[in-house]
Chains A and B, each alone.
Chain A
């Protein structure tokens, strides 16, 4: 099982492929070396014999057969070790010198096989390459040399390359096997971790090594992904809890409304009021779900397709005008500083909802007599929208949380709202790639949204 896994592993296959490639290149190298070395040797071999023949021919022309014989004898004595074989035969077929068998006297190369002379491999015959040169007066000169040496040298090259080939192939396969099983072991660790996580141990992580390599980087990325997934799962669990919690309150009130206790002898008018209250509770639950769905839809980014260029100055002024009477009724004043003629690319409807949410937020969380300032101004390539109030504000440690779903300040738990208004603002800001931030308005809260300005 383990073996077949290793053999099937990508790393082993890769090593095998490399080994194959290496083998082919060794083969090619061997061929080229063999051909060029044997070629060169054989050229030299033949050249030497021809030079010898030429020299003897010149000797003959200068003198006679006797001069040739003397020259041959001198040469043989001079080169004892790698002496060439010389044979001179006269027109009657008598050997004047040497012992090579008589051949038809025609200029050219012949190969002679003779009994071993001691330097051949056991069982091999002596092979001679001989040049036959007819001389005047029916003389026949033969000069030859041991041809087997060169051929042996060629075989030696091939044999050595063969060994190198075998050795490297063994190393490649063995090394590949070792590497693969090591690699597989680490993959197996990752696999086991994943299995453990599937099995419910969601806090398990892939162990890291001290020396970072590819696999270690992969492990790090996997761990980061797992952390992120855990975080998201956590958030979803949190939100489910929050939704459940937020639903319990209106459902509990609804339950109490419908209790039969204390309703004996009620008039139809009283029941009518009860139904109205019940409907209002149900509406608030529906509203909660609508808000959740709406935020999800915004977060999906599908609305980005409908972005258009519009005048945000007009939009802000319109909303301020719309909300001013309601805020004034609550004893608050709305002050606008809107720079006219500013355009952005976006979804006017969603920005209307966001700004409405921001204004409603201030309306709910500030006391009578507060001043709400809405400002819109251009800043280079940006358009900055700010909604500020001079109410009680939000403590700094809570300010980063106010855009989270269902987040509500302890101090405002009793006020109306579901903790989704600012989450919607955050989702809309995100959709528009706008920078959303909060600041202390000293006193009060200031929320800034910075958009890219459309030309």
Chain B
């Protein structure tokens, strides 16, 4: 997987490049917006990480130009602007995700992985999600395990949906707040934790694992027969 990092802040670029490299992602780095756009249009990358404030061409314009050229490479915007409207503005420009600085590297990595594994836009979303003997029916809004229905609150249902789509990936608390609750702020209350723990106890087993210091990961349950 190759990532193009367009970032003019040199220490941050070096830091990201080194750490992403350790995690198995090859990274090309340019500091100028126009250079980045040229490179992105001429070379097929798997993901672009774009700083919002760039010399020559700012990040949002870069993404807009990229989309105008029908380039659909996933884009993650990094920004010092973590204000209320900035995120919406970034996503409206055509970015796939938006991360405000300062951020934890684990947060960035989780989002990078999520974007890299995201099915290309436009492909049909399945109405039935399966993980081992667990089934989630989006149309009927029903969850069953080994055919037995599990009663979930609407929020728990959305949470499970979000996690099942990202099986085997680390999902951070912030990603859940944004994706499930549509909150762009971080409540001090442990709403994510309590909902995850309720969902966990309703599902049974250890399908939702806690990844220390990063977030959660959903793993398909091992059928009981195999365990036995």
Contacts and interface: CB of A to CB of B under 8 A. Distances in A.
Interface of A: 276, 279, 286-287, 290, 293-294, 297-298, 302-303, 306, 321-323, 325-327, 329, 349-350, 352-353, 356, 359-360, 363, 416-417
Given A294-B84, A297-B83, A303-B85, A325 B194 contact: yes
12 contacts: A279-B104, A286-B102, A287-B186, A294-B83, A297-B84, A298-B84, A322-B195, A325-B195, A329-B194, A349-B84, A352-B183, A356-B187
Contacts of A350: 84
A306 B189 contact: no
B123 interface: no
Interface string B39-69: 0000000000000000000000000000000
A323 B155 CA distance: 11
B159 to A, nearest CB: 11
Contacts of A279: 104
Interface band, chain B: 20 to 34
A325 B192 CA distance: 10
A323 B191 contact: yes
Contact of A303 (B84, B104, B153, B185): B84
Q: Which 6 A-B pairs have the closest CB atoms?
A: A325-B194, A326-B189, A326-B194, A356-B187, A360-B189, A353-B185
Interface of B: 82-85, 102, 104, 153-155, 181, 183-191, 193-195, 198, 213
Nearest to B102: A286
B191 A325 contact: yes
A293 B191 contact: no
Nearest to B183: A352
A321 B191 CA distance: 10
A25 to B, nearest CB: 64
Contacts of A302: 85
A353 B186 CA distance: 9
A321 B102 contact: no
A417 B187 CA distance: 12
Contacts of B195: 322, 325
A349 B189 contact: no
Given A279-B104, A326-B194, A350-B84, 15 more contacts: A293-B83, A294-B83, A297-B84, A302-B85, A306-B85, A321-B153, A322-B181, A326-B189, A329-B194, A349-B184, A352-B183, A356-B183, A356-B185, A360-B188, A363-B189
Contacts of B185: 294, 353, 356
Nearest to B100: A290
A111 to B, nearest CB: 95
In this complex, the member of B104, B154, B190, B194 whose beta carbon has the largest number of chain A beta carbons within 10 angstroms is: B194
A359 B188 CA distance: 10
Contacts of A303: 84-85
Contacts of A298: 84
Nearest to A418: B188
A42 to B, nearest CB: 87
Nearest to A330: B189
